[in-house]
Structure 1
Amino acid sequence: MSLVLPSLLWTLLGAAPTASDPLCAGRAPCQVVETLHGGKDARGQPLRVVRLDLGWFSSDDAPEEKGRKFGAGRRAKGSLVEDDCAASEWWLVSPDTSQLLLAVCNDGYGSAQKGEDVVKVKNGLFSHVQSGGDSQRWLHTRVWRLSPLERVREGHVNFLMGQDDVEDRTAWDFSTLQGSRFLGPETCQDGPFAPNKRTLPYLPRVPLDAAYVDEGWKRVGLGTCALQAKNVTLGKLKGARDASLKALLVAPGTLILEVRDNLWVGTGGKTWREEDHLELWLGAKSPEALTGCGKPEADERLVQWGISITTGLVFPGYGPPRGELGVERVELRGKSGELEGYRLKLTLPGRFAGIGIAYNDSDESGKPERTLATSPLKFSRPETLNIVRDVPRAEGTCVVRGQALEVVVAPPRLQGLEVAVLPSGPSPSVAHGR
């Protein structure tokens, strides 16, 4: 029975442990301990993900550079207690070739020595969850598409062992440019100023070519390449057509907005607070660096502009703001010629690290009935703005497809079949610390 059970277990996992696979040739100690179905590639050929158990490295022989095919210096037995690390590799195998996906050497990933690497393959997606830490634990998740090879999602979580409350969580979807950072509550002496728990959406900044920034924005919609405002900070949305707001930074100081509504209310710019209007808030510090404890310091204070939707006129608000805010706008009309919304190009004054945009929908009441914002915006509070996330070209960009922008994920820069596709550690822009 003791011999049958392990064989049955490996059968259920998808493979029996074996050292005869070509991936193990000349690499003892080496065993194939798992084979997972990876779907099919673009030519319809079957894909497999093969996991190799490559034994242990001693603390003296452990390789400094992770993310490559492991070489010599391994032995069959080891122990975390002795600061050894367990070597594993995951390979993407097709009938034509084999590509190293991931190489890890698990040394416990922290003083608690409870670190793990959990890999799953489903619907053509490869997910890797790595955990570690000490009394403060962390989880890092990465999801990649196997064909074509490209990033899909990434996230990081910090929490205290034995407690349910999450201290910090980040998430980013490369295919949609959507993501957020969750910050747990701070313990403040002046509690009334402290927020409860904050989930701050990222506002993506994707550098686009001069042709789009100068004139193309007038004809090309934001499409899927933008942050969709989902925070209703006042009132309620009556339906999908009631109001919507999209935002995208397309240059260091250039913001494109799309506002749609089913009823437009204007006063000719005389009383902008009582008509349909936008609020733009800028902060000198990123909101993730702020606790929300106490009143904002002098160098943390926000400035605000009001923008009349129906006229495009700009009004100084809280602050007071300095510099000139440039506003251009075009009408968005439906197939029958009806006015559906406006697309605006804002040229922002000065430098900023936090930003928030809100659309105030007045309908017919003469005052805002609902406010739709890109973040959980609170008046004058810098810790409630959006976090600006610069999207490097190595991750992806936005391209014009038809009459709208579309996200295109950048393919990985493969450095060779024996260099792992997935980096050995988390992306700095995703794995934040506090």
Structure 2
Amino acid sequence: MRNKSNTSLEKAAAACIVLSGLLVSGSAKAQLTVDTLTGGINTITTAVPFLMIGPDARAGGMGDAGVASTPDPNSGHWNAAKFAFIKDTPLEKGKGSSRDVGFSMSYIPWLRSLVPDINLAYISGYKVLKGGRVTQTVAGSLRYFSLGDITFTDIVGNVTGNFNPNEFAVDFSYARMLSENWSGGLSLRYIYSNLTGGFVVDGNPSHAGRSVAADVSGYYRKETEMFNRDVMFAYGIAITNVGAKISYTQNADRDFIPINGRMGTSLLIKMDDFNKVMFLVDVNKLLVPTPPIYNSDGTIKKGYDPDRSIASGIMASFYDAPGGFSEELKEYNFSLGSEYWYDNQFAIRAGYFHEDATKGNRKYFTIGAGLKYHVFGLDFAYLIPTQQKHPLENTLRFTLVFDFGGLGAENSGTE
């Protein structure tokens, strides 16, 4: 039988991995000195990083590429503008479509190689609005992240209480056709993060963190013919989580939430009446300040002061890395993905995600599968890190999709 205190320590360690830098933003100055930063590792940390976890199994099977994929009920996380096209079935001219309403439920056991009870749940849905001269879609989602049960102790090890840290975000999205090939999207988000349950942290009473944020996104797609086959090119861009900073104690500095920029492209090819294949590329960057290098006395040696306004932090994120242009390039993450559909019913997916070793070192392959039958769909994804004993190894993602409009469709298309 495992020792209870050891389990608590493991949970605390996992929380530190997932939520590093949340509660004590000032500690970065002590860590990023000239003496300790000789290896060049300079990871960007933010509050509420759970907002950056890809919640659905479809994109999860494609290397977390999703900003330019074909629309599905989980488009709100990747690019809300895609919702404007969700009623149409790509490369299926003349067959019609009736995907007017749908929703999905996703579940991810998170960091199970470390602890047994950290989980992410995600529910999303959409409704195509009828009437009017342009297609409009509204959508919403709820994301809930639980870190399991954690035991709090004082400095001598006496138990002071137990608590289940948790975070959630509620979204509302609106997407609208701007032209035959263009669409735009806007999302509003309420964020709640309760990591301490009001317990005293470093002598200071703590409280839940709250914020409000917005996303803005665009999507373009064009059907054409190439090599005697019907194809569709798509491009997407999204700036997400633009919102107020968060703090957890009265005396702590407020921390940036993960303001993020994502752009990408995809190519969907109809091989014949039964086979389709899609290839995707995403590029992703956090739009928050990079930690500078500090001298031992706390003054900045290289880089810029990260204590900025939201707008200034977004702009500075493109030039503030203490290592210059070469370090800025390392702050871009890349996702490569592919998806194959047979008869619009069976899907196989694969992908790769790359993050530089000095910026978090997440490098992993993904595989996934999907099944679709009338109104019901099931997706599954599995993550394979390139390193052994990685915290993300054996990560599974599950998604159930319900497309109620598919009841009257003769032939439902790819998601």
TM-score (norm 2): 0.24
The structure in which a higher percent of residues are helix is 2
Q: Which structure would you say has the larger Rg?
A: 1
RCO higher in 1 or 2 (8 Å CA, sep ≥ 6)? 2
